[in-house]
Amino acid sequence: MSDWPKPSPRTRELLRRGAEIALSPPEEWIEEMHDAALGGVRMTAVADDPVLADGARRTNIANMLHWAAANVREPGRRVPVNLTGEVLDTARDLVRRGLGESSLDSYRTAQSVAWRRWMDICFGLTDDPAELRELLELSSLSISTFIDDTVSAMSERMEAERADLTRGTHAERRQTVALLLEGAPIPAGRAAAQLGYRLDGPHVAAVIWADAGATTAQELEAVADVVTKTTTRRERLTVVASAAALWVWLSTSAVPPIRRIPDHPTVRVAFGQPGDGLDGFRRSHFQALATQRLVAQLASPQHVARHEDVRLVALLTADPTATDEFVVDTLGDLASADPDTVETVRTWIAEQCNTSRTAERLYAHRNTVIRRLARAEELLPRPIAENLVDVAAALEVLRWRPAGRR
């Protein structure tokens, strides 16, 4: 760009020093940027989708670090657009969800947070008014231009992706499913013919996903095959929801009994409950999406989740602060006890406080179960017999949380 400003050596040096600081932002800065980027009204569809939300977080932090690194290398120069594979995947996913360019608002809101934090850095670099003015003017131009260029490039990629998705059977399948989920008056017979999948029978919906960049489309399909093989009819409808997620419907009246997928540790599966006909097709899908969101929100270590398993947890975790207090007050030191003791108590309650059945289910000696239960009694604030329901609920919350939050 011929009219790009030519900053003084002193301003370039200050910009370089500031960029070095920005390359290692404190965690609270990053969280503030993520909260702002996903908090807007027009970002609800992105924030509610774990794959899209993860993609937005990744691209925003990648853009910030890209800008900072460019100004360490060549301070004051116009920063080129950061069109990495990760950024392009985000553009592709947004289009596949039917979202438009308004979903790029996260770049603007993240920019406003980054600018406030950048000003903090600048005021710490110099107290000379003239130096500070030139540094802030150049920084403002550099950051806003970089974001403008990035949004423009992303819009072009989204337009190209949109054009590509309007061709072929995959696009027709996505469009038909979108109409069905919206409750549009599309004839069921015509929709079934377009999808190659019966809509008048039983359904169990699933969402199969992984973190962006953590797996391949082939792995997602492989997991879909594993899940399908656990059903009797082996009939399946698959829709590519994003680069890292599949929407699946299985023609079965029971949720597949699968509980773990050892050959694909980066892939997760969320199931809805069984349903019949078009209503069941929709309801099971929305339940699977809600289950996926909860697993992502809790950063749960569980790789397979059923809607029926998480309904109670969803209610209990609606207020995170109250949930934390409930778990601590109810479980006391048991919350941080060894996993065997915690799992023994949870299984004992599930087996209606029957020690023999608990030992059988855990493949443990009955005396071992008795010792673990006695240890749990020592750790609990109140005797378990006086507080059985609350302990069961608190342990269920604990089951879906990562170990670090216990």
Task: Report how far residue 229's alpha carbon sits from residue 256's, in angstroms, rounded to the nearest whole number.
Answer: 9
Each residue of 279-324: pLDDT tens digit? 999 999 999 998 998 888 888 888 999 998 888 888 788 778 888 8
Which amino acid, residue 163? A
* Domain 200-308: assigned CATH number: 3.30.70.270
Give the burial class of 405: count Cβ atoms within 10 A of its Cβ; 0-12 exposed, 13-18 middle, 19 or more buried. Answer: middle
The structure's pTM equals 0.58
Each residue of 87-143: pLDDT tens digit? 777 777 777 666 767 767 777 778 888 888 899 999 999 989 999 999 999 999 999
Q: What is the CB neighbour count within 10 angstroms for residue 267?
A: 23
Query: Residue 91: which of 24, 160, 19, 141 has the closest Cα?
Result: 160
Task: Report how far residue 395's alpha carbon sits from residue 281's, in angstroms, rounded to the nearest whole number.
Answer: 32
Determine which helix (DSSP H) or strand (DSSP E) holds 353, and give its type and residue range: none
Res. 169: pLDDT tops 80? no
Task: Domain ranges for the chain, please list them.
Answer: 9-165, 200-308, 319-405
What does the DSSP assignment read for 146-179?
A: HHHHHHHHHHHHHHHHHHHHTSSHHHHHHHHHHH
pLDDT on residue 20? 93
Q: What is the mean pLDDT of the chain?
A: 85
Q: What is the CB neighbour count within 10 angstroms for residue 200?
A: 12
SS3 256: coil
Task: Report how far residue 280's alpha carbon sits from residue 296's, in angstroms, rounded to the nearest whole number.
Answer: 24
CATH of 319-405, one of 3.20.20.70, 3.50.50.60, 1.10.3720.10, 1.10.10.2840: 1.10.10.2840
Q: Which two tokens stand for residue 207?
A: 């969402």
* DSSP class of 79: P
CATH topology match: 200-308 vs 319-405: no
Question: Rounded to an integer, what is the distance from CA 177 to the centroid of its chain?
Answer: 22
Domain with residues 9-165, CATH architecture:
Orthogonal Bundle (1.10)
Residue 42 near residue 110, CB atoms below 8 Å:
no
pLDDT on residue 161? 67
Q: For the chain, what is the total number of helices (H) and then of strands (E)?
A: 17, 6
Question: Rounded to an integer, what is the distance from CA 35 to the centroid of its chain?
Answer: 14
Q: Could you tell me the maximum CA-CA distance found in the chain, to the nearest angstrom?
A: 81
Each residue of 30-47: pLDDT tens digit? 888 888 878 776 777 778
Residue 280 near residue 259, CB atoms below 8 Å:
no
Res. 2: pLDDT tops 80? no
Residue 291 near residue 298, CB atoms below 8 Å:
no
Task: Report how far residue 290's alpha carbon sits from residue 296's, in angstroms, rounded to the nearest whole number.
Answer: 10
pLDDT on residue 346? 92
Which amino acid, residue 403? A
pLDDT band at 166 (very low <50, low <70, confident <90, very high): low
Each residue of 182-228: pLDDT tens digit? 888 778 888 888 888 889 889 999 999 987 666 777 888 889 988 98
pLDDT on residue 188? 81
pLDDT on residue 302? 87
Q: Which two tokens stand for residue 59?
A: 């691209």
Which amino acid, residue 2? S
Task: Report how far residue 226's alpha carbon sits from residue 393's, in angstroms, rounded to the nearest whole number.
Answer: 32
Res. 73: pLDDT tops 90? yes
Q: Which two tokens stand for residue 400?
A: 């879906």
- Alpha helices of 1-104 — where are they, by DSSP H? 9-22, 27-38, 44-47, 50-73, 85-96
Res. 55: pLDDT tops 90? no
% residues pLDDT > 70 (the chain): 92
% residues pLDDT > 90 (the chain): 38
Res. 150: pLDDT tops 80? yes
β-bridge pairing 245-250 and 202-209 = antiparallel
pLDDT band at 164 (very low <50, low <70, confident <90, very high): low
